[in-house]
Amino acid sequence: MGSRSSHAARIPDVDSLRRETGFSQASLRRLYDRFQALDRTGKGYLSRLDLQQIRALAVNPLGDRIIDSFFPDGSLRLDFPGFVRVLAHFRPVDEEDEGNRDPKEPEPLNSRMNKLRFAFQLYDLDRDGKISRHEMLQALRLMVGVQVTEEQLESIADRTVQEADEDGDGAVSFLEFAKSLEKMNIEQKMSIRILK
Amino acid sequence: MDGTELAGQILYTWLTLVFGLILLPSAFGVSLGISEIYMKILVKTLEWATLRIETGVAKQSALKNSASVGIIQRDESPMEKGLSGLRGRDFELSDVFYFSKKGLEAIVEDEVTQRFSSEELVSWNLLTRTNVNFQYVSPRLTAVWVLGVIVRYCVLLPLRLTLAFIGISLFVIGTTLVGQLPRNRLKNLLSELVHLTCCRICVRALSGTIHYHNRQYRPQKGGICVANHTSPIDVLILTTDGCYTMVGQVHGGLMGIIQRAMVKACPHVWFERSEMKDRHLVIKRLKEHIAHKKELPILIFPEGTCINNTSVMMFKKGSFEIGGTIHPVAIKYNPQFGDAFWNSSKYNIVSYLLRVMTSWAIVCDVWYMPPMTREEGEDAVQFANRVKSAIAVQGGLTELPWDGGLKRAKVKDAFKEEQQKNYSKMIVGNGSLKSELD
């Protein structure tokens, strides 16, 4: 990685990526370097295995779910635009973005709503737009491993669903999810700033 | 006729020069100071180049930060702070943010993957291979670079290849000759002389400048020497200052010839590939070797694989179960003059050696450290970690708990369980949940 010079010209569709994701040219170059470094065998795309070999990700309790979010709809190949689009969710929110935004253009990928959507789909496995009690349990089980008993976990899941559920359907929809987190500083908690 | 005569004359003068200026002094361990002069010129040139780049780039944009700072802003606070809670707080929907952020940070930059590619330099050292973000600055700089290419490929490379060839041939011949003698003191002395001379020649073949620190702690007979591993050249660098018993697999080809020759002169420990898999057999043989306390110290690289010299990864406990005194050694290369790291998945050994021979020089520091032994109640893993920390501190390298050999395999679950444990403690911890149930 350090011995390859990658100029912006080598990145395919760099201008449209800049507009879509909001990353600067330098950041895109850094991410492209990273993409190539992760693609050890030089295939030009990333597979699940490439991401699973990142140790810090493999030991993350939600590691597999995070990897899934890069491969939507059962696809097996992750190309660079797809890679950057997911990462764009974590771009810090600039104040200027909000002011200058043209309301007719689609929401930027790193808006508060999109960050919340990213977090939501980590819970909502079947993509039905609701987090059922069962899905809540599964996510909790991932995060605690074998350390907590089934009963304790069930009561935590029940309590959480009850608190967030407003229309009483026993599941948490995206709007209910967003509402329960409206006081949270999402922008700070779900942002990764690229320094150079 | 004239052409071949001329060529013959040139070759003759060339070889005489090489012999007189390099080989003879090596045999006596003396230095004529030519390499020192070369290094001084090189340092001055690189400083000048750095200045030119800085002034050139300052006109365009701000100079980038030091390469040791990561590319993303990290919040290294522990899990408790990241989840913004005290112990015993309940599960929140937002907890998933912490894990997803950590996960994506790892995807953008993780501390392990970057250790298997060459270190990035702060300022360019006039080698195309290290040119990452440095753009065209001025014609003068380009001219110097072109000059550098000519010097490296047309002057230095042939010289280094000649020296390497002579060094290896002398080594094989020398050890075979010494091997004919019966085992006595004379044989050991001669074997040492052959080893040292040929290693010095080979180090000159790489334009190596090595600084040894704390030579009073040099590994003694009957001990085990452990060091961090960056490339096969490590062996050369350590052997220039003393003889060691090598441990390793039997190879074929040129390496095999060298190995068989070495074993004739002094007892190295070579294993067949099948034997290497049997850990107990390996440890048993090494134990036998150091039992006499009269054999040369064993040289082992506990990381098991080449790392890029910015960090030290997990030391395999096998070397620390043998017993005996451990003599740690820290090796740190200066990347400004040439990159010594062998990226075995990217380059094979021949292209690696060519790259090394077309760099400016190999400059490194070697620190010998006071011997360490296993303490009461310490198991092999803890001892290994203690030695690893000592080496990392001495060499100015970062310490990582990961196993370097796993770069092609999956990770142990123990690390994941630790995170899960911490998280569980937080949301269930004080029994606050139990009181809810009652």
Query: How many angstroms separate the CA atoms of A59 and A190, rounded?
Result: 19
Give whichever of A66-80, B36-50, B261-275 has the largest mean pLDDT.
A66-80
The mean pLDDT value for A176-181 works out to 85
Chain B residues whose CB is inside 8 A of the A178 CB are none
Which pLDDT does position B332 carry in this prediction?
Answer: 93
Considering only CB atoms, which chain A residues are within 8 Å of B92?
160
pLDDT at B431 over 60: no
Q: Which residue of B96, B102, B411 is in closest CB contact with A58?
A: B411
Q: Min CA distance, A115 vs chain B (Å)? A: 9
Tell me the percentage of chain A whose pLDDT exceeds 90.
Answer: 0
Q: What are B325-335's pLDDT values in tens digits?
A: 899 999 999 88
> A56 vs B417: CB contact, 8 Å cut-off?
no
CB contacts, 8 Å: A144 with chain B: 420, 423-424, 427-428
pLDDT at B370 (0 to 100): 92
Q: What mean pLDDT, rounded, does chain A reach?
A: 81
Show which of residues 72-111 on chain B sit within 8 Å of chain A, judged by CB atoms: 72-73, 90-111
- Rounded to the nearest angstrom, the minimum Cα separation between B410 and chain A is 7
From residue B100, how far is each of A65, A125, B103, B107, B237 by CA, in Å?
9, 15, 5, 10, 45
Q: Is the pLDDT at A98 greater than 60, yes or no?
A: no
Position B359 pLDDT exceeds 80: yes
Contact list in B for residue A172 (CB cut-off 8 A) is 93
What type of residue sits at position A123? Y
CB atoms within 10 A of CB A100: 8
Nearest to A143 among B99, B410, B437 (CB): B99
Q: Do B93 and A53 touch (CB under 8 A)?
A: no
- Beta-carbon contacts of B295 under 8 Å, excluding residues fewer than 6 positions away, are B221, B222, B245, B267, B289
pLDDT given for residue B408 in this prediction: 45
Query: What is the three-state SS of chain A?
Result: CCCCCCCHHHCCCHHHHHHHHCCCHHHHHHHHHHHHHHCCCCCCCECHHHHHCCHHHHCCCCHHHHHHHHCHHHCCCECHHHHHHHHHCCCCCCHHHHHHCCCCCCCCCCCHHHHHHHHHHHHCCCCCCEEEHHHHHHHHHHHHCCCCCHHHHHHHHHHHHHHHCCCCCCEEEHHHHHHHCCCCCHHHHCCCCECC
What is the model's pLDDT at position A5?
41
Nearest to B201 by CA among B153, B238, B234, B162: B162
Q: On the CB side of B75, how many CA atoms lie within 13 Å of its CA? A: 20
In this structure, are residues A136 and A165 in contact, taking their beta carbons and an 8 Å threshold? Answer: no
pLDDT band at B366; cut points 50, 70, 90: very high
The pLDDT value recorded for residue A6 is 43
- Which of A58-72, B27-41, B92-106 is predicted most confidently? A58-72
| Confidence check: pLDDT of B436 > 50 | no
Which ranges of B373-431 would DSSP assign to H, the alpha helix?
Answer: 380-395, 413-428
Assigned token pair, A141: 């089980």
Q: Which residues of B touch A40 (CB under 8 A)?
A: 345
Min Cα–Cα distance to chain B from A97, Å: 21
Min distance B411 CA to chain A CA atoms (Å): 6
For chain B, what percent of residues have pLDDT higher than 90? 7
Q: What integer pLDDT is reported at residue B328 of this predicted model?
A: 93
Sort out which chain B residues have CB atoms less than 8 A from A193's CB and list them: 72-73
Identify the band that residue B437 occupies on the pLDDT scale cut at 50, 70 and 90.
Answer: very low
Percent with pLDDT over 70 in chain B: 82
Average pLDDT rounded to a whole number, residues B198-225: 86
User: Which range is most confident: A57-71, B2-16, B43-57, B418-432?
Assistant: A57-71
* Dist. CA B340–CA B405, nearest whole Å: 19
pLDDT at residue B66 greater than cutoff 50 = no
Question: What domains can you pick out in chain B, each with its CATH number?
Answer: 139-407 (3.40.1130)
Q: What is the ipTM of this complex?
A: 0.85
**What's the pLDDT at B58?**
61
CB contact under 8 A, B437 and A155: yes
Contacts of B11 (CB under 8 A, 6+ apart): none
How many CB atoms are closer than 10 A to CB B56?
Answer: 15
If you measure CA to CA, which chain B residue comes closest to A177? B93
What three-state secondary structure class fits B225? Answer: strand
Compute the mean pLDDT over every residue in chain B, rounded to the nearest whole number. 79
pLDDT of residue B430: 42
The pLDDT tens digits of the residues spanning B279-290 come to 788 888 888 888
Most confident of A100-114, A115-129, B121-135: A115-129
* Confidence band of B135 (pLDDT split at 50, 70, 90): low
- For residue B256, the model assigns a pLDDT of 81
Hey, what are B297's tokens? 């110290």
Which three-class secondary structure state does DSSP give residue B64?
coil
Instruction: Kindly tell me if the per-residue pLDDT of A47 is higher than 80.
Output: yes
What average pLDDT does this structure show over B369-395? 89
- List the single best residue of B71, B73, B107, B115 to mutate versus A (max A Cβ within 10 A): B107
Q: Where do runs of H (alpha helix) occur along B206-299?
A: 233-239, 253-265, 273-276, 279-291
Instruction: In whole angstroms, give the CA distance from residue B126 to residue B360.
Output: 9
* Residue B383, phi then psi, degrees to nearest 5: -60, -45
Q: Which of the two residues, A148 and B63, has the higher pLDDT score?
A: A148
From A75-89, A129-143, B128-142, B386-400, the region with the lowest mean pLDDT: B128-142
- The pLDDT, as a whole number, for residue B226 is 92
CA atoms within 13 A on the CB side of B323: 11
Cβ distance B416 to A59 less than 8 Å, yes or no, reads yes
Tokens coding A65:
């779910």
